[in-house]
Each structure stands twice: as C-alpha cells, then as structure tokens.
Amino acid sequence: MTHTDAVEIWPGKAYPLGATYDGYGTNFSIFSEVAERVELCLFDADGTETRVVLPEVDAFVWHGMIPNVEPGQRYGYRIHGPYDPANGQRCNPNKLLLDPYAKAIDGQFHWDQSLFGYNFGDPDSRNDDDSAASMPKSVVINPFFDWGSDRSPEHEYADSVIYEAHVKGLTQTHPDVPAQLRGTYAGVAHPAIIDHLKSIGVTAVELMPVHHFANDSTLIDKGLSNYWGYNTIGFFAPDAKYSANPNPGGQVQEFKAMVRALHEADIEVILDVVYNHTAEGNHLGPTLSFRGIDNAAYYQIVDDDNRYYMDYTGTGNSFNVRHPHSLQLIMDSLRYWVTEMRVDGFRFDLASTLAREFYDVDRLATFFELVQQDPTVSQVKLIAEPWDVGPGGYQVGNFPPQWTEWNGKYRDTVRDFWRGEPSTLDEFASRLTGSADLYEHTGRRPVASINFVVAHDGFTLRDLVSYNEKHNEANGEDNNDGESHNRSWNCGAEGPTDDIAINELRGRQQRNLLATLLLSQGVPMICHGDELGRTQQGNNNVYCQDNELSWVDWANADEELIAFTRQVAALRTEHPVFRRRRFFNGRPVRQRASAGVPDISWFRPDGYEMGDDDWESGFGKSVAVFINGNGIPDRDPRGRRITDDSFLLCFNAHHEPIEYLVPPAVYAARWEPVLYTADSVQVDGAKAIDAGQPLVVDARSTLVLRAVPSPS
C-alpha cells in the first residue's frame, strides 16, 4: 500500500455520484452523512492498494478528481466514522466497500470472517479484519458506445407480449448459440434466440435480475448458488457473471450490444429490479457497501432498537425509501438504465415495500410521486409485483394509474378454472376481459393487468399440469421451501408417466392455458421455456439451482407446443379485438354491420345468454363468449376507427364433452374454426358452422371460431 501524497487529486465535483470518466481523468463522488473521513482505494492488477483521502465534502457528498485514471481502474472505499450498532451506526474503515453507484463490479465475494463487522459467535463484538482481499472491486467504465441508429421499439402495452427470461437459463443449452456465448448477454442477443422469440410473437424480454448480486454463503456451503439473483448489491452494474467479455467493465459494453441487437429485432428490454432490499441481510449480515457507508440512511431500522432492521421482504432488511439520498439512488439508477443502457422498462420486485414510508403501505408514497414527475422514468414501462411479505402487503389493483401490475388474481383464477374448481366461472370471465373489477375504478385500462399463468417463482407450465405437490428436495430444505398451494393438477399421475391418456390431457391443458393467456385482454407474459414444455421435475422454487434443472432444455423441446404457441400468438397479433385498449361495456354498438349487437355477449352451452343465476352456479364450468370486432372503441394513429373480425370463444373445463349451440344469425351467419386445443394441429380451413347449429367441444378444451364475413 502506498500513501495519499503519491497520487495527485483535485477537488472535483459532488455530482454526478459514482466514478465518472471524462476522457482526461475520473471524478469520484460518494454520499455519507455520518462519515468523518473517506478514503478512495485504487487497486492495481496485482491487488496493490493505494489509498487517497477525498479532499472535499459538500452536503454530505465526498468527492475528488484524479487525472489519468482510466476505464478499467478497480476501486473501493473505506469510511471512517462511528461504529455504534445500538444506535444504527456501523462504519468501519477496515471493511472495503463497494461504491453504491459503481457502473461495473469485478470479482466475487470470498465469504470469510473479514466481510463481517463482528466476530462469529459473538454478534456484540467488533471485527477489524481487513476485507479487501475478499471483496470484489468497483470498476471505472468507459461510458462511450456506438449505438448507431438504435431506437426503442416503444410498443404500446396493448400490442405487447412479454417473455420473462433468465439470461443464463434461456441460453445455456441452446445448440445454435456458440459455447463461449451461452449464459451471457451476448447469448441473448444471438440470432438463434432472437429468431425464436420473434416466432412466438414476443415484443419484450423481461430479464430476471441482472444488477450485480451476491451469491449467498449459506447456499455456497450447500453446493448451491443464488441462481435467480434477487440479492442485489450493485444497482448500476450489470452482473459480470453473465458476460462473455473477461475485461473489467466489459460487461457494460456487452449489455449495451445486447440491447441494441434486441431493439434491431423490434424487441424491448425490461429489467426485473430489486430496490426493496440489498444483499447485506439483517444485523448478522456482511458489511459490503451501504451498511458501512451510512447504515441508517440506506436501511429502515427498528425505531426502538436501532441494531435491528425492518424486514418487509423476508431477506433481512428493507431499503429506506424515507431518506432523500436512498430515493435519489433509486431514481438515479432507473434514469441511468434508461438513458445510458437504453432499457425500455422495469418490473419492480416486491413493489409494495417501496410504498412503505412508515409501516403501512401508502399508495401515494414519495417514491411513486417521484416516478410520476420524472420526465425520463415516467415514460417507460413500469410493472409492479404488487405485494410483499409485510402486513397489508398484497396490493393487487391498488397501484397508481401510471403503473401496470403482475395480476396474481389472474394467475390463480385461470389455474382454478382449468383444473375444474367449482364457482370460478364469474371471476374467470372478469380475468379474461381485462379485470375491470381491479383497474377500471382508478381510471386504468385493461393493459394495467400483466396477465400470467406461470412465472419464474413456482411450477413451470408443464409441471403445473403434471404435479399436485412440490418436489423441492434438491434445495436441501426438506421440501419446506416454496409455495405449497399451487392450484395445480397432475391429470391423474404424479410426475412423468407412460399413460398415453394422461400425457394427452396434459398437452391439452398446456394448450388451454396458453390459449387463455394469449387471447385475454391485458398484457400476456410467458415464462421462458413454457412454450416448449420445460420441466423442473416438480421443483417450484429453483432459486438456488444453477444447473440443468432450471435451464431451458432446448434439446427436448416440444415442437408441437411451440407450433401451437406460434399459432395463438399470430391470432393475437393479427386481430386487434384481442388487444383492446378499453374495457368492454356490454352495450349495443352503432356500426351498421353490428347494429344493436353488444361489444361482448356471454352464452350458456344451450345458446341462451348467461344470467345472474348462471354466473353464481357452483357447478358451471363451460361458457361461450362473443367478441364483437365492430365494437372496438379504439382508433389507429391516424384517428381511423379500428374494426376486426368477430370471434366466438368456447371454453369447456368440464371432464366430459359439451354440446354448444351456436348463437343466432344476428351475431354472425356462419362461423369457421381457427383454433382448437383438443388437438395440437391447426384447424384453419375446417368446415364452417351455421348460426343456430350445434357443435361439440371436447372435454377440457377451448374452441375459437371466427365469423365468416358476409358477401358484399
């Protein structure tokens, strides 16, 4: 280690925070209200550390400019200040700390005693072991990148199909992705992946966490890892674990190249972000960054005992959205990813936590007010996971009008309907038509509902129809982890079977769920691999399984299911009647072609319109819905009224075939089948059916009919 006087340092600027390279040198800036002195630590390639005291402090922001420090420079901080856990203060200059604004991070954590502020076995003690050798390092990046003619696709929500994916899990086994690119940002950008996404109608990839995250020591000790990545420690840094570029900071250039490639293919990039907590855990967690910089500013601590943390996330701590600098960090991070990394939106993990200014969830919390007025962040896609584990945390339908939400009620209802649960018909109808009961009262539209049947957390689509119980033994927690109430049905046997009838039913159920998802009003989200029959062998919590159990198995893809998914996706893309921007109202439309016919009508199988008693029937599991293509209240960008074909969707969740009577000619004179889940092959070109005629819909299947246009 050399001394401060060996390095020339100028006053620099307090803003922007972080390390900013301008072509001549690098400005370093970090916030700490409790610091008494801040040392910037520069590391050579061999690990030699040079400490430099930041010379200036303005409004609790410490800063300095060092000429000739270039991209690739590895660095960290040491904060001199009070160590008094009982009063919420945990500064210790023996702990090297990551820059909260680091744009790149190099290296991994080596979990030993030095990373912790106390001695193992004695949480009230103080540990002064130097942690530098066990810490990854922040990296100065090159901010310059040739974006060429890049632009965001800016797809309307109504026209969007979201694909939730894990960078490594999606690409790790794909045979057409070069081995050195598998599991990386470059792998996601490979034409083989992009071509597949385009073929199933995907308009946006929602990437599971790519912010730099810590791999938990408890999992490493078990031979496992934090595969999902919901353990953020760097809110500005794309994780280097997903980079094929080995150079410090190279992951930033690779991530930008991925975004550029996806944009060229007309696909947006949405990030799953975790601002509700960090990887430092509870009071027994390591000191890696925020805890050692300004613990009480960055975390919500217990008011009457400041040594402990409020935990609304189940991870040990909750980020302090009450503090202006914590809020600034979140907003600066969001703006950075939009302006510099050019992503198109965010899905906020456990978003209810961000609304907790004090104890209760506050729908108008400061964070949402900041987002509302921000000219950059307010213009991208904002998706909330509208719950956390704290009291009152389930907030589906209660987020501000600008937000969309993962609709957990959609997931639960659609699963229940297709597994044959009683008394689900009325709610199924509501979910199919955009969940007006949840969103219309706040002025939102059907697109507020992000519809999903399966997400990363839970069974895959194939497992949902193959298992009644979770099978998480591989996680090493005696099958106690993961959700126990999955609303799944194994169709007659638990797990893999040679029974032809059961396997055929499972295939049909997967098609039913995909068809329902893609033909519902709102925004559909497909979980990666569900379109090709991915299984996790009944494990519904693969957060720690970075292996073949969690990766998409491209070698055993169900080609028939992929073809069916493409067919349904094309039906949605080609017909705006499935992508309405406003809720149905049930009133007759005025257009001459459908004068007097409502924009939507519901029918019993016998052809009569559904009445109140029919909706309240506990045994009803079959319904038909007419969607009027002349009743779309939307207009195209030029202001022209949008019209489409009309459709009749027949849903039969009963265990026996049901005979339906086609509605009378006032709705349409003739109908032609365009989709049938009872068979995996297409039905386009099948014999047309006249109004008022009977037709049989097979057990547990969906039949979609299109009105045949009348001769002009």
Q: Which residues are part of the catalytic machinery?
A: 349, 385
Reported residue count of the chain is 712
Q: In what order do the strands lie in the sheet with 600-603?
A: 600-603, 622-627, 647-652, 701-707, 670-676, 689-690
Taking CA atoms, 347 is separated from 62, 270, 274, 300, in Å, by: 32, 7, 9, 22
Taking CA atoms, 470 is separated from 137, 269, 411, in Å, by: 39, 32, 17
CB 267 within 8 A of CB 198: yes
The DSSP 8-state label assigned to residue 564 in this structure reads H
Q: Is the dihedral of CA 46, 52, 58, 59 positive or negative?
A: positive
SS3 for 429? helix
Q: In what order do the strands lie in the sheet with 74-80?
A: 49-53, 37-43, 74-80, 137-139, 104-106
In the chain the first and final C-alpha atoms are separated, in Å, by 87
CB 693 within 8 A of CB 662: yes
The DSSP 8-state label assigned to residue 126 in this structure reads -
Taking CA atoms, 504 is separated from 288, 454, 509, 538, 701, in Å, by: 52, 20, 9, 19, 12
- In angstroms, the CA 271 to CA 211 distance is 9
What the block records as the tokens of 609 is 């319109």
Token match 């601590």: residue? 301
SS3 for 474? helix
Of 4, 2, 3, 22, which is closest to residue 13 (Cα–Cα)? 22
CB atoms within 10 A of CB 634: 14
CB atoms within 10 A of CB 457: 15
Of 106, 116, 99, which is closest to residue 54 (Cα–Cα)? 99
CB atoms within 10 A of CB 422: 11
612 alpha carbon, distance to own chain's centre: 37
- In angstroms, the CA 412 to CA 422 distance is 13
